[in-house]
Structure 1
Amino acid sequence: MGGIAGIVLAGGAARRLSGVDKPMLEVGGKPLLRTAIDALAAADPVIVVGPRRPGLPRVVWTREDPPGGGPVAALAAGLALADAPEVAVLAGDLVRVSPSTVDKLRAALGGHDGAVLVDGEGHRQWLIGVWRTENLRAALPAAAGGASLRGMLAGLDIVGVPATAGEGEDLDTPADLARYTHSSQPSHRP
């Protein structure tokens, strides 16, 4: 299949969770960011876009410009360091993403520009995908800060890949946190 790089978007303000460092929340005894990094076991390099966090070896850190500039700015920062023909792009708050998720997206890529997970309701999960690196770079707008990710990707040839139960779930709200941790108190590592 050729080489693949990995990008994890791990910035964001987590406004619905009172600004907690969402990627470092633990589900199943492991920070969500570690879950995303582990899902990229076949990737080299693994690039994390967001504030540097301790205890996460094997990653290259970078920040979007401007910091807090949104997912397209973060994606642009990650793509600047990706040097493989394919790139897996994951959000840093995914609960059940795994190496098999990335494997099936890669297998579905074929001649398409990208392959993204599609949830049970038919919604494309834009931040769970595998892309042809050069095609994704070519789609970046000149001004990435505040740009719409969906709008940026609209012109690309994308294949949807059905998610298994729970595979595309992320943690966004206090209700999500309670459901995944069976507690209303966030558990995170400093």
Structure 2
Amino acid sequence: MSSLRLDAIVLAGGRGRRLGGADKASIRLRDERLIDRTIGAARRIGVERIVVVGPRGATDADAVSVREDPPFSGPLAALSAGLAALESGSAEAGDRAEWVLLLACDLEHPGAVCDALASALARTRNDDRLRDGVLLEDPGGRSQ
């Protein structure tokens, strides 16, 4: 569990064209919806508030659900909607998390991703260089 104050935005929209129009968030892997796997992984590292951006019903009761406007307008519009929802939920600056994780609902290994992000962010506390955030890389060195 992280000692950082963390919030998360989970992107769960899109048309699912590569999946024949399927709702990615609702796809089940080992009897668990992909969205629930990602939310659970975020909760396990101590994420306080989660905003899911996607269709209504994509999330559980413990997360805020919002939609980008207009729907299907892309990941930047979804990120903007998620940040606005987090901001509107912060009554004061002291309510804000130190970091916001940006996660996809269909991560193959959400626990490993959340653990890696929390570890990398914790290391920035002791780094004398200014950090705006961290970005993970896949084994091939591609930014993810």
The change in CA–CA distance for 1:2 and 1:108 in structure 2 (over 3 A counts) is closer
Q: RMSD of the TM alignment (CA)?
A: 1.7
Match of 2:26 among 3, 24, 37: 24
CA distance in 2, matches of 1:55, 1:87: 18
Q: Which runs of 5+ in 2 are unaligned?
A: 87-95
* 8 Å CA contact 1:40, 1:102 repeated in 2: no
Aligned residue for 1:5? 7
Change over 3 Å in CA distance of 1:109–1:30 after alignment to 2: farther
Structure 1, residues 132-174: CA drift from partner, whole Å, max 9, x if none?
xxxxxxxxxxxxxxxxxxxxxxxxxxxxxxxxxxxxxxxxxxx
Q: How much has 1:54 moved relative to structure 2?
A: 6.3
Structure number with greater CO (CA < 8 Å, separation at least 6) is 2
Matched residue, 1:103: 118
Letter in 2 for 1:91: A
- Distance (Å, rounded) in 1 between the aligned partners of 2:59 and 2:141: 36
Higher helix residue share? 2
Give the secondary-structure state (helix, strand or coil) at the position aligned to 1:7. Answer: strand
Partners of 1:69 and 1:109 lie apart in 2 by 33
Which residue does 1:122 correspond to in 2? 141
Cα deviation, residue 117, structure 1: 1.3
Q: Which has the higher strand share?
A: 1
CA deviations 1:40-87 (Å, max 9, x no partner) are: 111121100011226713100111111101000000000112232310
- Supply the distance in 2 between the matched residues of 1:57 and 1:109 (Cα, whole angstroms): 32
Does structure 1 conserve the Cα–Cα contact (< 8 Å) formed by 2:68 and 2:77?
yes
2:66 alignment partner AA: T
Post-superposition offset of 1:2: 4.1
Q: Report the 3-state secondary structure (helix = DSSP H, G, I; strand = E; otherwise coil) of the residue aligned with 1:39.
A: helix
Identity among equivalent pairs (%): 38
> What is the aligned partner in structure 2 of residue 74 from structure 1?
78
Aligned AA for 1:115?
V
CA distance in 2, matches of 1:72, 1:6: 15
Find the aligned partners of 2:62 and 2:132 in 1 and give their Cα distance.
Answer: 27
- Give, as a single letter, the amino acid of the residue that structure 1 aligns with 2:131: H
* Structure 2 residue 36 is the aligned partner of structure 1 residue 34: yes
Contact in 1 for aligned 2:15/2:72 (Cα 8 Å): yes
Structure 2 counterpart of 1:90: 103
One-letter code aligned to 1:61 = S
Q: How many residues align?
A: 125
